[in-house]
Amino acid sequence: MTNPTDNLISQNDLDPFSPEQQTARLRGVLTDVKKIASGGMAHIFQARQPALDRYIVVKKLKDELFTNPETLERFRREAKALASVLHQNIAHVYDFVESGKDSFLLMEYIEGVDLSTVIQKVGNIPFDVAASILLNVCRGVSYIHAYHLIHRDIKPANIRLTARGEVKLMDFGIVMDIANTSLTRPGMMVGSPSYLSPEQVLGDPITPSADIFLLGITFYEMMTGTRPFKEAERETVFQRIRETRYIPARQMNSTIPKKLNRIIEKCLEKAPSERYTNVKELMGELEQYLGVQKSNHTSDLILKYLDQEALVTPKIQYSEVKETQSFLKKMNWILIGVGAVFLLLGFLIGYWARPKMVSGPSTYPSAKPINPKNVKGSSR
């Protein structure tokens, strides 16, 4: 009887001292292996770890790419990049196994739905939910930027929404370490068409600002249901990203709040210097729009929406999040009204309590001169 992992691992006669021996530890450790996807660099499998009673994802580098040193190094770099960061908005890596003929990346299995599937099904996403999703992605991106990493491939297909209302950024296959740019030569373009910054298209030096542009593309797509840069009759998608002004988001969806539209426009500035200085600045704008309560309970907003749209089956209960902004506005007006009432009462009380001024002739008897004869002890 063959082991379920045999379709994952090349069949080799394992010598105890050979590199292939490293893959032996996958045999008998994983069960219920099934292929779930295939990307540009790797085949994606879902497998179960009985010892830990959990499912994981196994990325296996494609056989035809294993002999390409540059591709192999990218795969290794993805593993190292993910292993160096631990954040609630980033998919976790568990292990990296490499042999003379295979490379495997063992990662967290994220039960849920990717953002691109949500957009395809519902079109534009409610504004508060879209802002909540982007805020969580920004938290993850800001974290990797602190480690001098640039994702370079932020797009809805690489964002996973979980059955707990969490948001996970995935696929670090073309992540760039600012301290080591040897795999990104000048003039070299990597990324997904329609999800590239102008500097990526031009092959210019890449900075964290490139990720801000990609966050803007993703936000635009969530708010309008379509991408801002697509092939046109006379222009390629690369020309449009590099030179052409996209159709404004509010022209695509006139109900988009002006504040969120300004966020999109600032992210999608062609010049990196015109965008947000850093992702934290963008996060501040989103938090200001959502308010404190919603910013602190994004998972409730997201999970409620996914449940209502029957996109996931919630693993936890979610609570209602009140409209913080409208509530605060109402409270402000109430306080202003109460203050005005107290001022008016104070004025009226002061008016009625003031001393009365008597006008006209005095009602008191007139004073008479004193007769010295009537005063005892007076001298004559």
Helical axes 115-122 vs 209-224, angle rounded to 10°: 30
Domain limits, CATH 1.10.510.10, in the chain: 112-323
Amino acid identity of residue 213, one-letter, is F
Amino acid identity of residue 318, one-letter, is Y
> Is residue 369 predicted with pLDDT exceeding 60?
no
Distance, CA of 126 to chain centre? 15
Closest to 152 (Cα-Cα) out of 208, 95, 201: 208
DSSP 249-290: HHHH-TTS-HHHHHHHHHHT-SSGGGS-SSHHHHHHHHHHHH
Tokens of 54: 């959990």
15 band by pLDDT with thresholds 50, 70 and 90: very low
Domain limits, CATH 3.30.200.20, in the chain: 4-108
Highest mean pLDDT among 196-205, 215-224, 345-354: 215-224
Task: Tell me which DSSP letter residue 28 carries.
Answer: T
186 band by pLDDT with thresholds 50, 70 and 90: very low
Instruction: Write down the pLDDT at residue 180.
Output: 63
Q: For the domain bounded by 4-108, which CATH number is listed?
A: 3.30.200.20
Q: What is the mean pLDDT of residues 228-238?
A: 82
Task: Tell me which DSSP letter residue 50 carries.
Answer: T
* Separation of alpha carbons 44 and 310, rounded Å: 25
153 is catalytic: yes
* Separation of alpha carbons 225 and 242, rounded Å: 22
Instruction: Write down the pLDDT at residue 1.
Output: 47
| Edge-first strand listing for the sheet containing 54-61 | 31-38, 42-49, 54-61, 103-108, 93-98
Contact (CB, 8 A) for 143 and 137: no
Q: Which fold has domain 112-323?
A: Transferase(Phosphotransferase); domain 1 (1.10.510)
Of residues 255 and 26, more confidently modeled = 255
Contact (CB, 8 A) for 210 and 201: no
Of these residues, 153, 171, 211, 300, which one is catalytic? Answer: 153
Of residues 380 and 338, more confidently modeled = 338
Instruction: Write down the pLDDT at residue 154.
Output: 95
* Separation of alpha carbons 334 and 41, rounded Å: 59
